[in-house]
Structure 1
Amino acid sequence: MVSGLLVPPGHGRSLRSAAQDVTFKVTGEHSRVASSFEVVVPPGFDVGAHVHAHSEELFYVLEGELEVLAFEPRVRTGGDWRDWDCRDGRRPVRAEPGTVIAVPPGCPHAFANRSDTPARMFFQASPPPDHERYFEELFAILDDPGPLDHAAIAALRLRYDIEQLTPMRHREP
C-alpha cells in the first residue's frame, strides 16, 4: 500500500539562523523528485545571483515582496544584480504574493528582501536532498559571530552545484 504525505501548517523540520528561517516540508526521505521548503526571508537578506548546472528550483511568494531575477544577463558582472538586464529587455522585478519563479538548470537567479518586513515563500528544489544538506551547512556559517565568511560560503556553494555570481548579503537593514 502506498500512502501520501500530509504536513499540516506549522509542521516540518525547522532550521533557524540570524539570516533565514527554513521549514522542510517534503524531503529526500519522502520524494525522489524534489525537496520542498517554506522559507522566511528577513529584511536585508540578498541570496546573491547564482546559477546551478544541474538543479532546478521553483519559488512561490506567499507573503511580503521580494526582488527577483531569473534570466541570463547581457553581462554577468559582480556587484549588484539589480542592475542587470537581458538582451530581450527584461530586468529584475518585484515579486508579490502569488508570483511564481521557475528556474531551470543554467539560469542565473537571485532574490532579495528590500522591504522592512519579512517575506515568506514556498521553495522547491530538484534533485533532493542537496538543498536540505546545503541549508544545514549554510546556517552554521551564517550563525558564526563576526563578519560573514564569504570564503566559507563560496566553498560550500561549490560543493552543492552553486556558482556564486554576486555576493550573498545579510545583517543589513
Structure 2
Amino acid sequence: MSSPTTSSGKYDVSLGNLSARLDVSRTENEANVAVVEHTLPPQTLAAPLHRHSHEDEISYVLEGEMTVLADEELTTVQAGESVVKGRGVWHTFWNAGDEPLQFLEIIAPGEFSEYFEEVARLGPPDPTDEEWVSQFLAIGERYGFEADLESVPALLEKYDLQM
C-alpha cells in the first residue's frame, strides 16, 4: 500500500515486494540527482529485465546482498559495495540471500525517481491484468524505461526466486 507524498515531495511506497522511499529529491540539489532507498525480501526478484534511456543508476548496498544481471553477466554486490547500472543496458536485480536487502539507488539525472510513486498508484503489480500492464508500460514510456515483462517467468525459474 502506498502512502501519500509528503509536503516536501518525498514518498514511501510499495511496489509489490520492492519498497521505495525518496530520501533526496532531484529538486533538492543543482546536480539533479535523486537518492531512493529500497528494501527487498529474501529470494525475491525486484523487476523484469529492463533498461533506462535517460539515466544511470548506482546501487549502494546497505544490508544484505544484491545479485545483478546486466548484459547477461551476473554480479554479486555485498553490503558496503556499489554497482553501476548504466543507461541503455538491459539489467535486473534480486535478493538471492536469506536476509532482507536494503540499498540506496542514486539516480542521475534524477527524474526517474518519480517513476516509483507513479507506479505505486496503480496498486499491486498484476501482470495478468491487461489494464494494469497497459498503464505500467505507459508510465515507463514517459520515463524512457523499457521493460521485458516476458523475462520474469524464466528469471524466477532459473534463479529460484519469487516476485
After TM superposition, is the score higher than 0.5? yes
Task: Give 3-state SS (helix, strand or coil) of 1:141's partner.
Answer: coil
Quote the residue 1:133 is aligned against.
Answer: 114
Could you tell me which runs of 5 or more consecutive residues in structure 1 were left unpaired when the two chains were aligned: 1-11, 74-83, 85-90
CA–CA separation in structure 2 for the residues paired with 1:102 and 1:122: 12
Quote the residue 1:48 is aligned against.
Answer: 48
1:106 is aligned, of 85, 88, 99, to 88
The amino acid across from 1:69 in the alignment is: L
2:24 is aligned, of 21, 26, 29, to 26
2:76 is aligned, of 94, 99, 106, to 94
CA–CA separation in structure 2 for the residues paired with 1:67 and 1:59: 11
CA–CA separation in structure 2 for the residues paired with 1:96 and 1:102: 14
Identity %: 23
Could you tell me which runs of 5 or more consecutive residues in structure 2 were left unpaired when the two chains were aligned: 1-9
| CA deviation vs aligned residue, 1:98-125 (integer Å, no higher than 9, x gap) | 2211123222221112334320001011
Give how far 1:145 is off. 7.3
CA–CA separation in structure 2 for the residues paired with 1:97 and 1:46: 17
Structure 1 pair 122–65 and aligned structure 2 pair: CA distance change class (3 A)? same
Q: CA RMSD in A?
A: 2.8
Which structure has more RCO (C-alpha within 8 Å, separation ≥ 6)? 1
Give how far 1:158 is off. 1.4
Quote the residue 1:115 is aligned against.
Answer: 97
1:160 is aligned, of 143, 152, 162, to 143
Quote the residue 2:133 is aligned against.
Answer: 150
Q: Is the 8 A contact 2:14 2:20 kept in 1?
A: yes
The amino acid across from 1:42 in the alignment is: P
| CA deviation vs aligned residue, 1:21-57 (integer Å, no higher than 9, x gap) | 2221110220232101111122323312211122111
Structure 1 pair 28–168 and aligned structure 2 pair: CA distance change class (3 A)? farther
CA–CA separation in structure 1 for the residues paired with 2:87 and 2:125: 31
CA–CA separation in structure 1 for the residues paired with 2:124 and 2:30: 30
Q: Is the 8 A contact 1:32 1:127 kept in 2?
A: no
Quote the residue 2:34 is aligned against.
Answer: 35
The answer to which structure has the higher helix fraction is: 2
CA–CA separation in structure 2 for the residues paired with 1:168 and 1:123: 22
CA–CA separation in structure 2 for the residues paired with 1:18 and 1:46: 9
Task: Give 3-state SS (helix, strand or coil) of 1:69's partner.
Answer: strand
Quote the residue 2:3 is aligned against.
Answer: none
| CA deviation vs aligned residue, 1:108-155 (integer Å, no higher than 9, x gap) | 221112334320001011222x22321011112342679564333222
TM-score, length-scaled by structure 2:
0.72
Is structure 2 residue 155 aligned with structure 1 residue 172? no
CA–CA separation in structure 2 for the residues paired with 1:144 and 1:110: 16
The amino acid across from 1:113 in the alignment is: N
